[in-house]
Amino acid sequence: MAAVDLTSHPGHLARRLQQAHHLLWNTMVSEEITSSQFAVLNTLVAEPGLDQRTVGERVGLDRSTIAEVISRLGRRGLLDKVRDPRDGRRFLLRLTDDGVRTHRRLTVRTARMNQVFLAPLSAEEQAQLLGLIQRVADAAEGLRDPAEPLITR
């Protein structure tokens, strides 16, 4: 009977948090555009002409995943993809007018959704939560590269 209390496991809570978010996103923001796709649109609004890899880096997706997300957005006509004439390996990405419009429309709804999502917390607690998550995530991402493995056998 060595079972553990899952509510003390950050991984489990992180998954539940994301599920909760996904649920709210679907009902309050969009059923077509996902949260990740919105993040890509948002990045390209700020920095048009980025290449695929850099967009992935900005939103925190590896190159395989970002490729799929982008191809889906391309298929829907929300962005264009052209070979970089200066570097034949890269694709340069740019939103279409439709992409820009979609981004603008969703931005409003996203803000509203975030409000509802965080409503159970006071303004102070909201800031705390975001800050704490960020610190943990940043630290873990910093552990990616180091040569020495993490496994403490």
Which positions touch DNA (CB under 7 A)?
15, 19, 22-23, 26, 34, 36-37, 51-53, 60-65, 67-72, 87-91
Binding segment toward a copy of itself, per CB under 8 A, in 49-57, 66-74, 79-87, 113-121:
113-121
Q: Is-contact 30 106, C-beta < 8 A? A: yes
Tell me which amino acid residue 38 is: F
Cα 64 to Cα 47, 53, 73, distances in angstroms = 21, 10, 15
Give the shortest CB-40-to-DNA separation in angstroms: 8
Q: Which of 129, 134, 105, 133 is nearest to 119 (CA)?
A: 129
Per partner kind, with CB cut-offs from 5 to 8 A, the member of DNA, a copy of itself, none near residue 88 is DNA
Per partner kind, with CB cut-offs from 5 to 8 A, the member of a copy of itself, DNA, none near residue 129 is a copy of itself
Count of C-beta atoms within a 10 Å radius of residue 92: 17
Q: How many CA within 13 A on the CB side of residue 132?
A: 8
Q: Which residues bind a copy of itself (CB under 8 A)?
A: 1-4, 6-25, 27-28, 35-36, 39, 42-43, 45-46, 59-60, 103-104, 107, 110, 112, 114, 116-121, 125, 128-130, 132-141, 143-144, 149-152
